[in-house]
Structure 1
């Protein structure tokens, strides 16, 4: 048996310089871990393939270029490719570069490898028998987060690629700052505030950048339609498609809102959709699995309380809010919360929301991997003194339950932050959201 001609063509192309055209560098990094397969996962169209090519480019510049190999299986001519072809691919490479075999590390970047049935066995054997670094990526329909560790028997290490962060958004536009926000001039701060408002509207999907609003809405709606069909309906054999679409629209049209499965069950039943509550729980779990939404639970050590309280649902990107909200509202507050939640996930925080014994609610309670925790309240309209007072009272009340947590109130602009600081209690930090985004590293 010989190597498939298309696969041979892919191998030859994958040895060429990675980035022939410019692309925005992402902030995600792969930790140096021995005997691990790096799995790059995330929602469709967020830039996973581009990230793999950026990794390849870095390796090519650090070592001999042919020691960083990118192979994409995203080609209809490779449909039903047998597993044996992967071994032929490996042997073909080492026939061309025998000097590297088992003497130097070769980096392999396999994109859309999930189209080859049994790919996991090949990857594990490759890791055990050769000196290699392996990075795999693929559609979330076939390479789900919860499946990576199972299929690779605990040897997988996940790196999630998300839509552009605000810093990446600025980088894409050639406007990334090179100093802390506190050192900005008045002009620089005004420019960043203008860009941040644009980010809230446009979001961070790479392909959506620079598009006119009607085209952007059509693009993002198309992303979600494809995701539902390919990554949920086909993958999980969903038969209640109408209920799935209704649930998806509800989640995206009501960002940062509480979601009660029992309430949804009653609404669907009233519209003639006979969907069991267990089915709704499963459909929501699928939407989380494919990175379309995040479900934030009540922050509590009590499993019973966590399960009995509604979860708050956030979309993967603020741009999705405008793409599915037909009310005409700007929803600045919901977009702000969405941006903050997605950033907390980038910082690998364990996130919940707080409801105090006195009935006050705080948007986020975040525990960070490195150390520390934070209570974060997001306020889009601090000009309303009643709203601001309520938000501050909620933080102060929650601090009694979480005395070691940093308290942070995030607002839209610097002017708002200065105004709120006049009435904020001791120990409550007030920042514009964009400052927290740009200056933060791993904690709050």
Structure 2
């Protein structure tokens, strides 16, 4: 079964021969190797690139272990590259190659070589790519399947797909397990034995119990405002454990570096400034989050908010949590202030839109509540409320676009209309 990943394939195609190392990053098992060695290679062949001009290497394959030595791999490449035509080099898990920075920088000096690499290691974050390659790295960040991609492989209705999507997540391998019990076992093992054990080993975490407990707390608090100091207090009051805010911040950074969670920072819309703390955290894959909680606490309201956040990131938006200060008079007639929240402030170049996630909006009172912060922005950027019970997209009397979550997820242009 071939699942289209056109968003990422198109990005790779646009970046061809731009004289940069194209670095495909993303969490383990999200489909990076499939994108590079199946979809992108197929594109190259269809474009007429000779097969011997496509050089592939999977560094974590046992049979290729000798090529992890740069003194072996570099001569191997040079023997295969001539001055005739363009060569495409596809390297998987390149962080396993010794002195990979020097190897890739040397390859960049050859005018007829185009380089594409993948890496799940934290060294392959965009900020590290810039450091390692002195501005010559170009990141394509990949996510698990979007809902639209998921539907291309799902055999069933949209409503049934949604139920599975918010429970078992959207890692492509989930389709290898048609039975719910097998999905559960797969996700639990993958989280504990691959993701978390990799983080513990890589960062030499000594207190595994504290780290494990933090993952539990973050899993239970998807979309809630929090910070290391607050989490430290929770450990002290609830768990009767002392763990410093600095240590908690390190643990959160490790989870972000492994692409397990993503951070949304608060932004003062009228003051045009960021508020450093508290922040919100969302899981890159809901199946892994639910597995951590033994598939308890699956609240569809929070799950929908998490799905919307991920979809916005997939589409290339920068996403913050909006804060609006409202002045009003209290019951005593005195002036007072309160802060209202906009779920997502989304920016892409010169474009901006504001989005509220409202699972259900059964009446006018609820609609007024959801749109209040949107109308206080005082600007003319698009304002959107995404619900699960709106029959068709429409603008209300205040110019706010109200749409169903499926209209949003299944139409890549839904925010542009």
TM-score category by the smaller chain? 0.7 to 0.9
Out of 36, 45, 56, the position equivalent to 2:29 is 45
CA distance in 2, matches of 1:361, 1:378: 11
What number of residue pairs does the alignment pair up?
392
Q: Which residue of 1 aligns with 2:130?
A: 149
Structure 1 residue 428: deviation in Å?
Answer: 0.3
Aligned residues of 1:252 and 1:321 also touching (Cα < 8 A): yes
Q: Within 1, Cα distance between the matches of 2:368 and 2:415?
A: 26
Classify the secondary structure of the residue corresponding to 1:299.
Answer: strand
Contact 2:129/2:137, CA 8 A, preserved across alignment: yes
The gaps in structure 1 that reach 5 residues or longer are 1-21, 95-100, 176-190
- When structure 1 is superposed on structure 2, of 57-66 and 322-331 the one drifting more is 322-331
Aligned to 2:352: 373
Equivalent residue number for residue 407 of structure 1: 383
Q: What secondary structure, in the 3-state scheme, does the structure 1 residue paired with 2:124 have? A: coil
* SS in structure 2 at match of 1:348: coil
Cross-structure match for 1:8: none
Partner of 2:412: 440
CA contact (8 A) 1:298 1:353 kept: yes
User: Following TM superposition, by how much is the alpha carbon of 1:303 offset from its aligned partner in structure 2, in angstroms?
Assistant: 9.6
TM-superposed deviation, 1:328:
3.9
Given that residues 56 and 70 in structure 1 are in contact (C-alpha distance below 8 angstroms), is that contact kept between their aligned partners in structure 2?
Answer: no
1:181-192 correspondence runs (5 A): 191-192=157-158
1:262–1:80 distance in 2 versus 1, CA, 3 Å: farther
Assess if the C-alpha contact under 8 Å between 2:90 and 2:115 holds in 1: yes
The aligned counterpart of 1:306 is 275
C-alpha RMSD of the superposition: 2.5
User: Kindly tell me: are residues 46 and 130 of structure 1, through their superposed partners in 2, closer, same or farther at Cα, counting changes over 3 Å?
Assistant: same
- SS for the counterpart of 1:168 is helix
Within-5 A mapping of 1:382-393:
382-383=361-362, 386-393=365-372
Question: Using the alignment, how far apart are the partners of 1:113 and 1:46 within structure 2?
Answer: 17
Alpha-carbon displacement from aligned partner over 1:264-318 (angstroms, at most 9, x marks no partner): 10122343433221111121111111111111111138798612x3111110023
Deviates more, 1:387-396 or 1:161-170: 387-396
Relative to 1, partners in 2 of residues 1:147 and 1:348: Cα closer, same or farther, differing over 3 Å? Answer: same
Q: Which residue of 2 aligns with 1:165?
A: 146
The 1-side partners of 2:249 and 2:272 are apart by 17
- Note the alpha carbon deviations across 1:165-223, whole angstroms, 9 max, x for none: 11111122378xxxxxxxxxxxxxxx434433432233210111253333223322222
Contact kept? 1:251, 1:315, Cα under 8 Å: no
Q: Is residue 198 of structure 1 aligned with residue 164 of structure 2?
A: yes
1:357/1:279 Cα in 2 relative to 1: closer, same or farther (>3 Å)?
A: same
Q: Are positions 1:295 and 2:263 aligned together?
A: yes
TM-score (norm 2): 0.86
| Cα separation, 2, equivalents of 1:34 and 1:387 | 50
Normalised by the length of structure 1, the TM-score is 0.81
- Structure 1 residues 124 and 110, CA gap change in structure 2 (3 angstroms): same
Equivalent residue runs for 1:59-138 within 5 Å: 59-62=44-47, 63-76=49-62, 78=65, 81-94=68-81, 101-138=82-119
Match of 2:330?
A: none
Partner of 1:98: none
Residue deviations 1:7-50, cap 9 Å, x none? xxxxxxxxxxxxxxx42121212133521000011001111111
Q: How far 1:131 moved relative to its partner?
A: 0.8
Match of 1:341 among 309, 312, 316: 309
Judging changes above 3 Å, is the alpha-carbon distance between structure 1 residues 46 and 286 closer, same or farther for their aligned structure 2 residues?
Answer: same
Query: 3-state DSSP class of the match of 1:377?
Result: strand
Deviations 1:220-260 (A, max 9, x none): 22222221221x22222322322221111211222111122
